[in-house]
A and B are shown apart, each in its own frame.
Chain A
Amino acid sequence: MPPITALLVFIIFAAGVVAGGLGGVLGLGGGVFLVPFLHLALGFPLRSAAAISLATVIATSSTATAGRAGKHLINLRFGMVLEVATVAGGLAGGLTAQLFAESTLERLFGVMAIVVAVVVLSRLNRRNVLHASVDPGRLGGAFYEAESGGMVTYRIKRLPAALAASFLAGNVSSLLGLGGGIIKVPVLNAWCGMPMRAAAATSAFMIGVTATGGAIIYFGRGDLPALAAAPAVLGVRLGSAVGLRWSQRASARWLKMLMAGILVVVGVVMFIRSAR
C-alpha cells in the first residue's frame, strides 16, 4: 500500500472525477479503468484497488440515479428483473474464481469488449425509439427525449441476452472490481431494444446493487482503505454531476461512438492486465 500523501489524495480524486463522468454519461461505473490505474500506476494491492473501485461504482450509481429520478429514463421494472440475474452471477463468482485464472478471465473479457465494440459500431445509425403510441409492453418504457423533440417508446427484445449479460456482469464484479455497466449498456442497446439513454440510466441504477455485495465483503475483511476510498468517492460525486448534465445534450449517435471507443480501450487494458 502506498503512503497516502496530499498529492496522492488529489490524484485519486481526479481519477474519481473521470470514473464518475463515465457513469454520468454512459452508465458505466468506471471500475474497468480505475482498478488498473490504482493497481498498476499507483501501486495499490489488487484487492484494495478492487475494493476502492467498487466503492466508487456505488457512489456513481447513487449519484447518477438520484440525478435522473423522475425523468422516466431509468427502467426500474426491467432493472430489478436484471438485478436478480446479477445477484445470481455474484453468488457464482466464487466458483468462477476457482475455475479460471484471473489472467484467463481478463483475456476473455478483453475479447468480449472488442466484439461488443464492433457490434455497437455496426448499429450506429439504428435507433431503438418507437412512436409514442406504441405499447411498451410489460418491461418496456417511454420517456421524453430532447433529441427527437418528443416522447419516445421502446420495447424490450431478447430478454435472455439481457439476463445473460447481467449474470456475467455480477459474476466478474467483485473479482475484477467492476459494476459491469461496460457489458450491460452495449448489450441492452444493441440487442435488447433499449435506446442508448435508457440503457445508460438503467445500468447506472443497477451497478450500485451489483457492486454492493462485493464491497461489503471487502470492507468487512479490512481491504477497503478509507483514506484512499474517500477522495475517489468525492471525485465521483463531482464527475457524475458534470457527466449527467453533458449527457442530456449529446446525441445518441455520439454516445454510441464514445461507448465503442471505450470498449476498444477496455479490450486493450484487459490484455495488458492479463500479461502482468
Chain B
Amino acid sequence: MSVPPRIELDGLERAVGRVLRLGIAATTVCLAAGLVLSLLGAGSQGQLLLETGLVLLLATPVARVVVSVVDYAREGDWLFVVLTIVVLLQLAGSVIAALVHRPV
C-alpha cells in the first residue's frame, strides 16, 4: 500500500459521519412527527410516520457499511473491501430472515 492509512481514513471518516448525521436527522423528524400525531389521535398517519422512522433508523448502519465498501474499493484496499462485504452480507441475511419469517 502506498497511501498511509491516516490519510485514507480521513475521507471515510467524513463520509461515514455524513451518512449517519443524515440518517439520524431523518429518523428523528419522522419519529417526532409520528409520535405527536399518534398522541393527538391521528393514529394511522402517525403509525405510518413511526414505521418510516424505524425503517430509516435500521437502514442507517447498513448505509454506513455500504459507504465503507465503496470507499475501500476506491482506495484499492481489497482486504477491507472483503471484510466490509462480509458484514454487509450478514446484514442482508437478517433482512432475508426477517422477510421469510414475517407473519402474514
**Chain A interface (Cβ < 8 Å from any Cβ of B):** 6, 9, 55, 58-59, 61-63, 65-66, 69-70, 72, 74, 76-77, 80-81, 83-84, 87, 90-91, 138, 142, 208-209, 211-217, 219-222, 224, 226-227, 229-231, 233-234, 237
Contact = CB atoms under 8 A, between A and B. Distances in A.
B87 A84 contact: yes
B32 interface: yes
Interface of B: 5-6, 9, 12-14, 16-17, 20-21, 23-24, 27-28, 31-32, 34-35, 38-39, 47, 50-51, 53-55, 57-58, 60-62, 64-65, 68, 80, 83-84, 86-87, 90-91, 93-95, 97-99, 101-103
A213 B103 CA distance: 18
Given A77-B5, A87-B87, A55 B54 contact: yes
The A contact surface, by secondary structure, is helix
A119 to B, nearest CB: 28
20 contacts: A55-B57, A58-B58, A61-B61, A62-B24, A62-B27, A62-B57, A69-B14, A69-B16, A76-B13, A83-B83, A138-B5, A212-B61, A216-B91, A219-B58, A219-B98, A220-B95, A220-B99, A226-B51, A230-B34, A233-B53
B91 A212 contact: yes
Nearest to B23: A62
A236 B98 CA distance: 25
Contact of A76 (B12, B38, B39, B87): B12
A53 B2 CA distance: 43
Nearest to B51: A226
A87 B84 CA distance: 11
Contacts of B38: 227
A76 B16 contact: yes
Given A58-B58, A77-B80, A84-B87, A69 B101 contact: no
Contact of A208 (B6, B60, B95): B60
Contacts of B62: 212
B35 A230 contact: yes
Contacts of A213: 90-91, 93-94
Given A58-B57, A63-B24, A76-B68, 20 more contacts: A58-B58, A62-B61, A65-B16, A66-B20, A69-B14, A77-B80, A83-B87, A212-B61, A213-B93, A216-B95, A217-B97, A219-B58, A220-B98, A222-B102, A226-B54, A227-B38, A229-B50, A230-B31, A230-B53, A231-B35
Nearest to A13: B35
B83 A81 contact: yes
A114 to B, nearest CB: 31
Given A65-B17, A76-B13, A142-B6, A227 B35 contact: yes
Contacts of B99: 220
A209 B57 CA distance: 11
A72 B8 CA distance: 12
Contacts of A138: 5
Nearest to A71: B13
B16 A84 contact: no
Nearest to A231: B35
Contacts of B27: 59, 62, 233
B26 to A, nearest CB: 11
Contacts of B87: 80, 83-84, 87, 209
